């Protein structure tokens, strides 16, 4: 028989114990058996991920159903599924989780009722710079107008709300209104747009940095690619906007694309020995209130007949500027599919009653100890 103890310890900054709770973990849920079923049977099995979506999980080649050990915070947890198919997930999405939900656990639970997200800061009230590219190995530029659109991508390495994009531009003639949109897919819809008066841009071919501020602020997610899509629909070849680029870019997050049909289709602006990327900056704020997720450790088993046990442990640090009351704790495990995909699945959810309040600056150590007894 396997049982598990759940231990919650509240510590001050010096890691001195302030409060300790121990209870029997009661709540391994159905998703645990989904992953064990995949492990035992080698079958493909449809499971519900932490976002409520059905995902087919397998363990083809090197699949890792039931992986719990994870790096801290937003650190990339990379794994293989088949041959060289690498999958990525943020470390905080795997391993022990905490939340504020109070509803009783059921076998059908696929996520914590109200998970506290990972965050290492007090919610921000001023903009910080996120992704940027300011190198110019070889000076270059691109001209957009009418149905000729231009796109520069970036990969988000810091989850935040997007408030501002900066581009270096100049005008030729009077291009009229310039629209800057942000898209997750170049050919998809804008998730936010802003306009500027193209006729007010400099005519200096060196260009000027232009701040493009958005009235609404979409959330940019970790490791997701976004596209800055530029167009001046009222312009033409003599009334256009020129955007300053590096013609030999060395940015790991992507390469420019251009479109001659108003974004209906796109071609990469690269070729043998060159690739273009706009000089750009994007600015925003991480306004989420969360708790800092440390790495999730899975310690070596120990045995003392008739028992054997091992420890799963994670530290949480409250640097949110306020208090958190933890009412639920759980474990998310990684499941994979050979087709280069991975997801988190909730395998345990325990309600902690009464909740344990972690003050700003304090730590919470959560420990699960699975144990077998013969």
Partner 1 sequence: MDAQVKARPKLQVINDEILQLLVPGEVGAVLELALKDKDGKVTQRRIMKSKSFVRQFLPMLWLKCQLLDGQNAPSILYSTDGDPSSMRNSTLFMACNAPINNDDYGILAGSGSTSPTLADYALETLIEHGTGSGQLQYSAVTFGAPSSDATTSQFTITRDFANGSGADVVVREIGLAVRAYTAPYVDTYHLLIRDVVSAITVPNGQTLTINYRIQTVV
- List interacting residues with partner 1 (CB under 8 A): 1-4, 24-30, 32-34, 36-37, 39-43, 45, 59-69, 79-81, 105-108, 298, 300-301, 303, 305-310, 312, 333, 370, 372, 374
Of 2 and 147, the one with the shorter C-beta distance to partner 1 is 2
Are 371 and 4 in contact by the 8 Å Cβ rule? The answer is yes
Q: Which of these, 133, 154, 165, lies nearest to 248 by C-alpha position?
A: 133
For the bound state, the minimum distance from the C-beta of residue 15 to partner 1, rounded and expressed in Å, comes to 24
Taking residue 277's Cβ as centre, other Cβ atoms within 10 Å add up to 26
CA distance 354 to 23: 12
Of 219 and 311, the one with the shorter C-beta distance to partner 1 is 311
The alpha-helical segments, DSSP class H, found in 86-178 are none
**Cα–Cα distance list, 90 to 69, 84, 87, 118 (Å):** 12, 19, 11, 10
User: What does the DSSP 8-state code read for residue 365?
Assistant: E
**Cα–Cα distance list, 282 to 9, 139, 195, 211 (Å):** 40, 21, 16, 10
Of 206 and 305, the one with the shorter C-beta distance to partner 1 is 305
Taking residue 64's Cβ as centre, other Cβ atoms within 10 Å add up to 17
Query: What are the structure tokens assigned to 207, written together?
Result: 């260009």
For the bound state, the minimum distance from the C-beta of residue 301 to partner 1, rounded and expressed in Å, comes to 5
**Cα–Cα distance list, 71 to 122, 236, 291, 295 (Å):** 22, 51, 15, 4
Of 66 and 230, the one with the shorter C-beta distance to partner 1 is 66
CA distance 115 to 177: 43
For the bound state, the minimum distance from the C-beta of residue 97 to partner 1, rounded and expressed in Å, comes to 15
**Cα–Cα distance list, 197 to 194, 212, 233, 332 (Å):** 11, 11, 12, 49
Query: What are the structure tokens assigned to 41, written together?
Result: 């049977």
144 DSSP β-pair partners: 241
CA distance 147 to 319: 48
Of 110 and 144, the one with the shorter C-beta distance to partner 1 is 110
Of 67 and 169, the one with the shorter C-beta distance to partner 1 is 67
For the bound state, the minimum distance from the C-beta of residue 66 to partner 1, rounded and expressed in Å, comes to 4
Of 123 and 295, the one with the shorter C-beta distance to partner 1 is 295
For the bound state, the minimum distance from the C-beta of residue 45 to partner 1, rounded and expressed in Å, comes to 7
Of 42 and 185, the one with the shorter C-beta distance to partner 1 is 42
For the bound state, the minimum distance from the C-beta of residue 105 to partner 1, rounded and expressed in Å, comes to 5
For the bound state, the minimum distance from the C-beta of residue 72 to partner 1, rounded and expressed in Å, comes to 15
For the bound state, the minimum distance from the C-beta of residue 5 to partner 1, rounded and expressed in Å, comes to 10
For the bound state, the minimum distance from the C-beta of residue 334 to partner 1, rounded and expressed in Å, comes to 10
Of 228 and 348, the one with the shorter C-beta distance to partner 1 is 348
For the bound state, the minimum distance from the C-beta of residue 346 to partner 1, rounded and expressed in Å, comes to 12
Of 62 and 262, the one with the shorter C-beta distance to partner 1 is 62
The long-range contacts involving 100-104, CB below 8 angstroms and separated by at least 24 positions, are 100/324, 100/325, 100/326, 100/327, 100/328, 100/355, 101/327, 101/328, 101/351, 102/327, 102/328, 102/351, 102/353, 102/355, 103/351, 104/351
User: What does the DSSP 8-state code read for residue 68?
Assistant: -
């Amino acid at each position: 028989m396997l049982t598990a103890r759940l231990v919650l310890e509240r510590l001050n900054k010096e890691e001195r114990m302030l409060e300790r709770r121990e209870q029997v973990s009661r709540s391994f849920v159905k998703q645990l058996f989904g992953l064990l079923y995949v492990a035992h049977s080698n079958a493909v099995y449809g499971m519900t991920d932490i976002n409520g979506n059905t995902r087919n999980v397998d363990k083809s080649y090197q699949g890792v159903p039931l992986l719990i050990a994870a790096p801290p915070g937003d650190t990339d947890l990379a794994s293989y599924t088949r041959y060289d198919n690498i999958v990525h997930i943020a470390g905080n999405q795997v391993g022990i989780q905490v939340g504020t939900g109070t509803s009783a656990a059921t076998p059908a639970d696929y996520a914590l009722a109200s998970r506290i997200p990972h965050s290492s800061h007090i919610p921000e009230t001023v903009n910080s710079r996120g992704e940027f590219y300011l190198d110019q190995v070889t000076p270059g530029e691109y001209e957009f107008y009418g149905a000729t659109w231009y796109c520069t991508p970036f990969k988000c390495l810091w989850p935040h709300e997007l408030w501002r994009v900066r581009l270096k531009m100049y005008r030729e003639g009077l291009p009229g209104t310039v629209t800057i949109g942000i898209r997750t897919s170049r050919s998809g819809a804008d998730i936010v747009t802003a306009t500027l008066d193209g006729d007010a841009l400099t005519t200096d071919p060196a260009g000027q940095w232009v701040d493009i501020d958005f009235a609404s602020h979409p959330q940019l997610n970790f490791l997701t690619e976004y596209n800055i899509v530029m167009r001046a629909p009222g312009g033409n070849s003599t009334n256009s906007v020129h955007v300053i680029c590096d013609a030999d870019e060395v940015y790991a997050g992507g390469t420019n694309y251009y479109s001659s049909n108003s974004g209906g289709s796109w071609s990469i602006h690269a070729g043998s020995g060159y690739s273009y990327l706009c000089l750009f900056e994007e600015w925003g704020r991480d306004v989420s209130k969360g708790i800092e997720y440390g790495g999730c450790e899975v310690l070596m088993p120990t045995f003392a007949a008739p028992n054997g046990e091992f420890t799963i442990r994670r530290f949480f640090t409250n640097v949110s500027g306020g208090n958190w009351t933890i009412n639920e704790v759980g474990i998310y495990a990684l499941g994979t599919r050979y087709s280069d995909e991975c997801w988190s699945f909730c395998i345990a959810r325990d309600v902690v009653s009464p909740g344990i309040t972690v003050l700003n600056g304090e730590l919470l150590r959560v420990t699960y100890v699975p144990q077998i007894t013969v």
